[in-house]
Structure 1
Amino acid sequence: MQALINSFLLVFASEMGDKTQLLALLLATRYKKPWTILLGVFIATVLNHALATWAGAWVSTLVTHQTLIYILAGIFFVFGLWILIPDKEEEFKERGHFGALVTTIIAFFLAEMGDKTQLATIALGARYQDIVMVTLGTTIGMMGSNALAIFLGEKLLRKVPMKWVRVFSCVLFIAFGIGILIKG
């Protein structure tokens, strides 16, 4: 259960203002099909995060426990600082002439490749070695964050000071890094 809750918290917080959340807002505005966009986000996220969690669990079998602790703590510290750098809408462009669902699946899957939430999912997979719970937690976190963008859109994003969301997310990542070092 800890893997599920921690995975949810980290991804939900780190997705606030992330490029994929901006992408969800853009697609919802363009297609006016919020449920279709949300389904596309779900499909892309499950595929991407299941692969990332599996990769993390696999990597954890290649190094000693102590080495893994230092690697994971370092990754969470770096992500904590990385999250302070805002994503820009210009970083992605919509391509193709597919419908809303296919466009969302492809765009989200590709946007998540190498993104901090995918890399965090790999680290969580290595930390907990529970592919199902980590994938479920990160997917729920991604869905919650992007559902806010899809259904509440610009109104919510204008009222939430992104600077403080980023600071909170940074603190959360650093706390996870410290927790990993302490629990050893």
Structure 2
Amino acid sequence: MDLHSILVSTGIVTLAEMGDKTQLLAFLLAAKYKKSVPIILGILFATILNHGLAGILGVWITQILSPEILRWVLGLSFIAMALWTLVPDKIEDEEASFGVKSGVFITTLVTFFLAEMGDKTQVATIAMAAHYPSPILVVIGTTLGMMIADVPAVFLGNSFAKQLPLKLIHTIAAFIFLIMGVLVLLKIDQIF
């Protein structure tokens, strides 16, 4: 088993998820429903589905692009992720209010799946699945990263979020994405 790809993808997504709209969604759902287990299960299954599809897309990209073009796409994608990570997220009202009559699990599953579409952690999963030899391990890592960031949000609520040094966390995540991008472009990406 390649623990390296799991550890890197877990770490990057954990940092990128801090203050992300899906983490904010976890805070809102926990405050609204006060039912931790169905919210956590909804987050888990939505993430597995969403990041699983992202992993498949990452594999597909590696099959259609030449290695040289793929290197440039990946390197520039990681650099773009670095910049995107510095932009604070906010939750949109329609994402937070979906499925009021659907039950807590289904509401969480659907809202998280939709909120993650095109989100930076999904894009990061695509890039890392294209970069590492085992996209399944990347999806395991990115899912674990989402859970590490979002489960405490479910239990601790908004008061905890206000105490996190989000700017510092985003800066660290952006720096890691930037380094990964530069290393890929310079063909020195064995570190990550």
Asked if TM exceeds 0.5, the reply is yes
Q: Residue 93 in 1 paired to residue 96 in 2?
A: yes
Q: CA deviation at 1:180?
A: 1.8
% same residue: 42
Alignment-mate amino acid for residue 72 of structure 1: L
Q: CA deviation at 1:28?
A: 0.7
- Whether the aligned pair in 2 keeps the contact of 1:22 and 1:89 (CA below 8 Å) is yes
- Whether the aligned pair in 1 keeps the contact of 2:29 and 2:96 (CA below 8 Å) is no
Q: Of residues 156, 177, 185 in structure 2, which corresponds to 1:173?
A: 177
- Whether the aligned pair in 1 keeps the contact of 2:22 and 2:91 (CA below 8 Å) is no
SS at match of 2:92: helix
Measure the CA separation in 2 of the matches of 1:65 and 1:90.
38
Partner of 1:36: 38
Partner of 1:143: 147
- Whether the aligned pair in 2 keeps the contact of 1:42 and 1:143 (CA below 8 Å) is yes
Measure the CA separation in 2 of the matches of 1:179 and 1:53.
21
Q: Residue 134 in 1 paired to residue 138 in 2?
A: yes
Query: What is the Cα-based RMSD across aligned positions, in Å?
Result: 1.3
Taking structure 1 as the reference length, the TM-score comes to 0.95
Q: CA deviation at 1:90?
A: 3.2
Deviations 1:21-40 (A, max 9, x none): 00011001111011210110
SS at match of 2:97: coil
Alignment-mate amino acid for residue 98 of structure 2: R
SS at match of 1:159: coil
For this pair of structures, how many residues does the alignment match?
Answer: 184
Q: Of residues 53, 56, 78 in structure 2, which corresponds to 1:54?
A: 56
Q: CA deviation at 1:156?
A: 2.1
Q: CA deviation at 1:153?
A: 1.9
Q: Of residues 1, 4, 7 in structure 1, which corresponds to 2:6?
A: 4
Taking structure 2 as the reference length, the TM-score comes to 0.91
Q: Of residues 98, 104, 108 in structure 2, which corresponds to 1:104?
A: 108
SS at match of 1:61: helix
Deviations 1:34-74 (A, max 9, x none): 12101100000001101100110111111111111111010
- Whether the aligned pair in 2 keeps the contact of 1:3 and 1:128 (CA below 8 Å) is yes
**Residue ranges of structure 2 left out of the alignment (5+ in a row):** none
Partner of 1:82: 84
- Whether the aligned pair in 2 keeps the contact of 1:45 and 1:108 (CA below 8 Å) is yes
Measure the CA separation in 1 of the matches of 2:96 and 2:57.
28
Partner of 2:120: 116
- Whether the aligned pair in 2 keeps the contact of 1:38 and 1:147 (CA below 8 Å) is yes
